[in-house]
Chains A and B, each alone.
Chain A
Amino acid sequence: MALSEMHAEAVAGIVDRVATRYKRDPVNMLQILREVQEACDWLPPEAIDRLQTVLGVPRTKIEGVAGFYSFLYTEPRGKYRILFSDNIIDRMAGSQPLIERLCENLWIEPGKTSEDGLVSVDVTSCTGMCDQGPALLVNNRAITRLTATRIDEIAELVRNKTPLSEWPADFFKVEDHVRMADIMLGSTMQPGDGLRAARERTPSDGYMASNMRSWREGLPSGISGPSAMLDEIKRANLRGRGGAGFATGLKWEACRNAQMKPGQQRFVVCNADEGEPGTFKDRVLLTAHADLVFEGMTVAAYTIGARRGFLYLRGEYHYLLEPLNAILERRRKENMLGNDILGIPGADFEIEIHLGAGAYVCGEESALIESLEGKRGTPRNRPPFPVTNGYLDQPTIVNNVETFAAAALIALNGGDWYAAIGTKHSAGTKILSVSGDCERPGVYEYPFGVSIRQVLEDCGAKDTQAVQVSGPSGICVGVDEFDRTIGFEDIPTAGAFMMFDQTRDMFEVARNFVHFFQHESCGFCTPCRVGTSLLKNLMDKLHNGHGSPYDFAEIEKLNQLLQAMSHCGLGHTACNPVLDTIAKFRPAYDQRMEHDEFKPAFDLDRALSEARQMTRRDDPGAHITGHNVALGEEA
């Protein structure tokens, strides 16, 4: 047998094994591709050949999905695939010299695979470790607290082809860094307490929830727990913690009351695709309070009448998969999942974990559902909304990790208790992921209404110049705004809180964010696909010293276009960091405005750099200056 045939047979064996475990159902395509890659190091054409047969789907569909996700490779990327987190906070912690050091150590160029096929080194969007960066992923496993020494050790391990399982455990240690705990991070609720409390609830006076359907059609009529639970969520005034702040009670009620065709069911989806750069609070919740999250999902299922749930976990948190599955298993044993939960007849609910594969846009709820269905993570046209037409076109609620944790607390303690915490329009607490220039980065839980200044004081921030609240798509707050507060009345946030002291260049912060949006644009709609690239080019033009007032006008025009024409929130917010920093940190931009009049971005001398590299020349004759060519001026 020829070697290639043996190879094809081995690959087919892997594909069959993985696909069978996922019931050969194309809806599990992303999970199947991810696991095949874990076994093969990439997705060889033979694997796609076999998947075509096994799943009964055309090659175009498989390649379309594989091509969408950053962590899936249709070209060999090495036995060790190293991706440095490239958020501005990682950069401030010194990630760039470390990337260079590792590349030099391994004799490779960033973004390319070594000639012996052993290793590749590249960058990826924020991996959610800003409180313990610089960080990287090696074959999707997180390594934190990088130093020059650690980088050298990694290079040695790679060169010696040491299996990942034998690398020092300390490399993979992820700290929780809980610095300030309140009702959620300080919760001592025992698994099942929330569910038991929900079960006992009966409608109280001033009932708000509509009761169009009893939970799980077919249950004995007259069961009041679910609608009473919905009432508590409404009383609690709980709003979505993903940033947009939609009223959770309304969402649940809409899903609960959604019409279903025969054979359809309702779904509960937990959005743990925590991709906003600088956010890591869901990582901590899922590490230290996973029971709270699963309990909240089960309470939601009880309330809306769902029988299946998904936790969509970002690929960067792959290391959490095993412990989370163990917790799910324990809850099954304790009858908090499965059939007839806690003895309630017909109360069936199961939770599955799906992993993402490196796509920020999948944090958008309809893109997340597409991804759950094994497709490209492109946001859907809306309406209809997921509450009526979600997973497999059936009624679905998608909520943030923190929202479900809050729901569990509300199930136990009631809506009035929760509504009394925080402010009038922002009930409860908010967990902030605090990182950047401060003494104590980590997670901080506050009742809503806390001022920026208070957070800065608590985390030991000094000489703070700016705070980027809620990540690149949020807002940049300057010194004169530090008395503003966190909450839906003032500054809503999904949780990121990145601080920059006076030594930082706010232009480079904005440029990093613009590069992020360009990399993460899904490419579906014209304005975002092309606009984010144009914006990136403009910021790079300014960075390269070719900026003029004309470019400012261009940025503003692009912003208007992206906000007006984009398909989803990614495009709507992609210009935020630039506009905010232009408005508040103009000197950082002025410094780069070397020209009063328009200046082309094209630089003839720069264009020759590749040729100089190839010929290994850097002498004056290999450069073009303003004296010898009219087009190219001194770079």
Chain B
Amino acid sequence: MSHTFTLDGKTIPFEDGQTIIQAASKAGVFIPHLCYHPEFKPHGSCKLCTVKVNGRQTASCTMRASAGMVVENNTEELNAERRALTQMLFVEGNHFCPSCETSGNCQLQATAYHLGMMSPHYDHFFPSRPVDASHPEVLLDFNRCILCSLCVRASRDVDGKNVFALSGRGIKTHLIVNARSGNLADTNFTLKDKAAQVCPVGVILVKRNGFAVPIGERRYDNVPIGDSLETATEGR
């Protein structure tokens, strides 16, 4: 049975069990997000997709839609808070867009543009995060990890491999791989894995493929995130 709720005044139909972000995407309304991906179980950690439901803030990727809900999304207040979260992600890791191979294809960068982020605002943490170049086909640059856990979910739920996981706690939370050596080369990871294709930023990089498409002609250079809902939500 189909019901509706309102999103910024617009009537959105939904089916039982759908989350707010699922229903919104289907209706062509963009809600900024990073850890959400339509193909995976929602995680609810980045908090960018936070909306106001009947005046109370909640993550739209985990909150199921219910009939008659009044949801606010594209408001100055929420976008300012999302911008601050994006800035937090920028200063937490080491993100240098001009020299990053993912520039133009990066969901974090595109979201920052979408939200009108003009500076990182906060002091950079400059964490020390060595890269892992051990694998013949893939480079892991942990400097850009935003802990969205999409690779964790893809490897576990689709590839059935558990190549990735989060370890540590708090600000020391970090991505690990399934090998005693800590090197990707010593895992059963392959380029064909779903986990190789879901990183929204520039951590999982295919080797010998850099800059094949010049900056300026990349995905979000052509269509900014949110402008075309399909490209915005289906992943790279």
Contacts and interface: CB of A to CB of B under 8 A. Distances in A.
A59 B46 CA distance: 25
Interface string A541-558: 000000000000000010
A377 to B, nearest CB: 8
Contact of A565 (B81, B91, B165, B178): B81
Contacts of A61: 162, 165
A522 B147 CA distance: 12
Most buried by A among B59, B125, B168, B169: B169
Nearest to B123: A601
Contacts of A59: 178-180
A534 interface: yes
Given A59-B180, A561-B81, A567-B47, A530 B165 contact: no
A60 B85 contact: no
Interface stretch (A251-259, A316-324, A513-521): A513-521
B165 A60 contact: yes
A122 interface: no
Contacts of B168: 67-68, 523
Nearest to A383: B64
Nearest to A563: B57
A385 to B, nearest CB: 13
B8 to A, nearest CB: 18
A49 interface: yes
Interface in B134-186: 146-147, 162-173, 176-180
A48 interface: yes
B88 A534 contact: yes
A471 interface: no
Interface residues of B, number: 39
Contacts of A557: 84
A526 interface: yes
A307 B132 CA distance: 49
Contact of A60 (B50, B81, B88, B176): B176
B170 A60 contact: no
A59 B178 CA distance: 6
Contacts of A531: 88
Nearest to A65: B167
A125 to B, nearest CB: 12
A309 to B, nearest CB: 28
B233 interface: no
A564 B57 contact: yes
B62 interface: yes
B123 A537 contact: yes
Most buried by B among A58, A60, A63, A381: A60
B44 interface: yes
B173 A523 contact: yes
Interface string A61-86: 10110111110000000000000000
B71 interface: no
A67 B173 CA distance: 9
Nearest to A379: B44
B145 to A, nearest CB: 12
Given A60-B162, A534-B88, A529 B176 contact: no
Given A526-B89, A561-B84, A518 B166 contact: no
Contacts of B176: 60, 63-64, 67
A529 B173 contact: yes
Contacts of B224: none
Nearest to A517: B170
B85 A521 contact: no
A518 B167 contact: no
A523 B147 contact: yes
Contacts of A522: 169-170
Contacts of B84: 557, 561
B172 to A, nearest CB: 7
B47 A64 contact: no
A524 B122 CA distance: 20
Contacts of B57: 564-565
Contact of A526 (B47, B123, B162): B47
Interface string A588-623: 000000000000011000000000000000000000
A236 to B, nearest CB: 30
Contacts of B45: 524-526, 567
A49 B125 CA distance: 34
A207 to B, nearest CB: 32
A523 B172 contact: yes
A533 B180 CA distance: 30
B49 to A, nearest CB: 11
Contact of A63 (B59, B91, B165): B165
Contacts of A117: none
B170 A520 contact: yes
Contacts of A426: none
A527 B167 contact: no
Nearest to B92: A530
Interface string B185-204: 00000000000000000000
A567 B62 CA distance: 11
B91 A530 contact: yes
B226 interface: no
A462 B125 CA distance: 43
B47 A532 contact: no
A97 interface: no
Contact of A523 (B88, B169, B179, B180): B169
Contacts of B169: 67-70, 359, 376, 521-523
Contacts of A49: 180
B44 A567 contact: yes
A533 B46 CA distance: 16
B42 interface: yes
B162 A521 contact: no
Nearest to B179: A59
A476 to B, nearest CB: 24
B119 to A, nearest CB: 14
A527 B172 CA distance: 14
Nearest to B57: A564
B162 A533 contact: no
A529 B172 CA distance: 9
Most buried by A among B164, B170, B173: B170
A522 B169 CA distance: 5
Nearest to A601: B123
A45 interface: yes
B71 to A, nearest CB: 15
Contacts of B178: 58-60
A67 B57 CA distance: 31
Contacts of A537: 123
A603 to B, nearest CB: 12
A61 B156 CA distance: 11
Contacts of B173: 523-524, 529
B50 A565 contact: yes
A527 B180 contact: no
A69 B164 CA distance: 19
A159 B198 CA distance: 53
A70 B169 CA distance: 9
Contact of B47 (A67, A525, A533): A525
Contacts of A64: 165-167, 176
A518 to B, nearest CB: 7
Interface in B99-148: 122-123, 125, 146-147
A520 B170 CA distance: 7
Interface in A494-525: 518-525
A530 B62 contact: no
Contacts of A533: 92, 125, 170-171
A529 B125 CA distance: 13
13 contacts: A58-B178, A64-B166, A67-B176, A523-B172, A525-B45, A530-B88, A532-B170, A533-B170, A534-B88, A560-B81, A561-B81, A565-B47, A601-B123
3 smallest CB-CB distances across A and B, nearest first, come from: A67-B167, A60-B165, A523-B173
